[in-house]
Amino acid sequence: MWRAAAKRLVDGALAGSRAAHAIQSNPLSARSKKIVGVFYKAGEHADKNPNFVGCVEGALGIRNWLESQGHHYIVTDDKEGPNSELEKHIEDMHILITTPFHPAYVTAERIKKAKNLELLLTAGIGSDHIDLPAAAAAGLTVAEVTGSNTVSVAEDELLRILILVRNFLPGYQQVVQGEWNVAGIAHRAYDLEGKTVGTVGAGRIGRLLLQRLKPFNCNLLYHDRLKIDPELEKEIGAKFEEDLDAMLPKCDVVVINTPLTDKTRGMFNKERIAKMKKGVIVVNNARGAIMDTQAVADACSSGHIAGYGGDVWYPQPAPKDHPWRYMPNHAMTPHISGTTIDAQLRYAEGVKDMLDRYFKGEDFPVQNYIVKEGQLASQYQ
């Protein structure tokens, strides 16, 4: 599937390049758009994979296609502060493409400055880096590539569960450091089979995780505002828990799969973490701000949380003094779970499709809309 997506991107780039030269010296037409993309910089890694399109250098593989139609496409990783490259283009850009992996925080203040802004696209899923109520009030459209990296994130969650349950990281560190101490690993390594795993949120990613956990013979629980389809629930063998605080003490592993909203921001504070079973494993690939940063670090230090893993932080990139970098028994990485090469090709293709539809005056796939005509999608309400 990703090979087909890659071919479409490459074909589009080649076709665009034939026309691009003819328009480069001409001023932009009245219909031309100024489009700004904010992505992470690849540097020395940019040329190591031709399908590495999710970085500044790859520019989603759409530069030639956009420029062949007379649009002006600016790509940067410089997104913070009044003198950033992004800030220079705020006032006259028409479209901003952002990504959860290197988020450009689109505040109400920035929206107010952006007099020409029409469309905000997220290359990936999760648009909480945008002030959505402000975008709605300004009449902007916000959309993302729904489903583009759900498999990628669910696989990563399963990986982190196993890494933490099996106490893998200390063993790896021993090997690197030239040590050999089996007891130092085995005293807190467990099987996943028979453990109770609960997901907070059972949307696309949560359901995929539950499906992937079924072969491990776990007891599966989920909490969400909506129940899973009864047939799928029966197939997976998952049990719905209406009361989150009643579910948490039952779980050996808790996985966070809920979007960041006003209701979920800081949801896991000191008091809620205390309701979890002592020695719980927590995996969070949703959003860092759902957790109380210091409460998580303190719980890891005390042993109440036996292991915490994930790839989401607040803010991002995480500062060097972020307490999660230094807390014990963690399996944290930069925000990488949803930006595999396969995922990049899917969300690059999705962004191109939405831009093409936008230029033609056509609607996006309904599930992609986060803000449309002043209304927020249900998950953000």
Q: Binding site annotation covers 170?
A: no
Average pLDDT, the chain: 93
Catalytic residue among 51, 64, 149, 284: 149
Please say if 18 is a catalytic residue.
no
Cβ proximity of 38 and 22 under 8 Å: no
316 is catalytic: yes
Give residue-wise pLDDT tens across range 68-90. Answer: 999 999 999 999 999 999 999 99
Residues found in the chain: 381
Whether residue 337 contacts residue 285, with contact meaning beta carbons closer than 8 Å, is answered with: yes
Task: Measure CA 42 to chain center.
Answer: 18
Q: Is 264 annotated as a binding residue?
A: no
Which member of 64, 167, 316, 368 is catalytic?
A: 316
Q: Which of 63, 335, 344, 346 is catalytic?
A: 335
Regarding beta strands 219-223 and 238-240, do their DSSP bridges make them parallel or antiparallel, or are they unpaired?
parallel
pLDDT in the model for residue 238: 98
**113-156 pLDDT, tens digit each:** 999 999 999 999 999 999 999 999 999 999 999 999 999 999 99
Can 31 be counted among the known catalytic residues?
no
**Which member of 63, 71, 102, 287 is catalytic?**
287
Q: Is 260 annotated as a binding residue?
A: yes
Contact indicator for 28, 70 with CB cutoff of 8 Å? yes
pLDDT at 374 over 60: yes
C-alpha 67/C-alpha 21 separation (Å) is 9
Distance CA(343)–CA(236), nearest Å, equals 25
For residues 318 and 335, the answer to whether their CB atoms sit within 8 Å is no
Closest among 300, 292, 307, 299 to 255, alpha carbons compared: 307
pLDDT for 288 beyond 70: yes
Q: Kindly report the pTM of this predicted structure.
A: 0.90
pLDDT of 306 higher than 50: yes
- Judge whether 342 is annotated as a binding position: no
Is 149 a known active-site residue?
yes
**Is 245 annotated among the ligand-binding residues?**
no
Q: How far apart are CA 275 and CA 284, in angstroms?
A: 17
Residue 227 among known ligand-binding residues: no
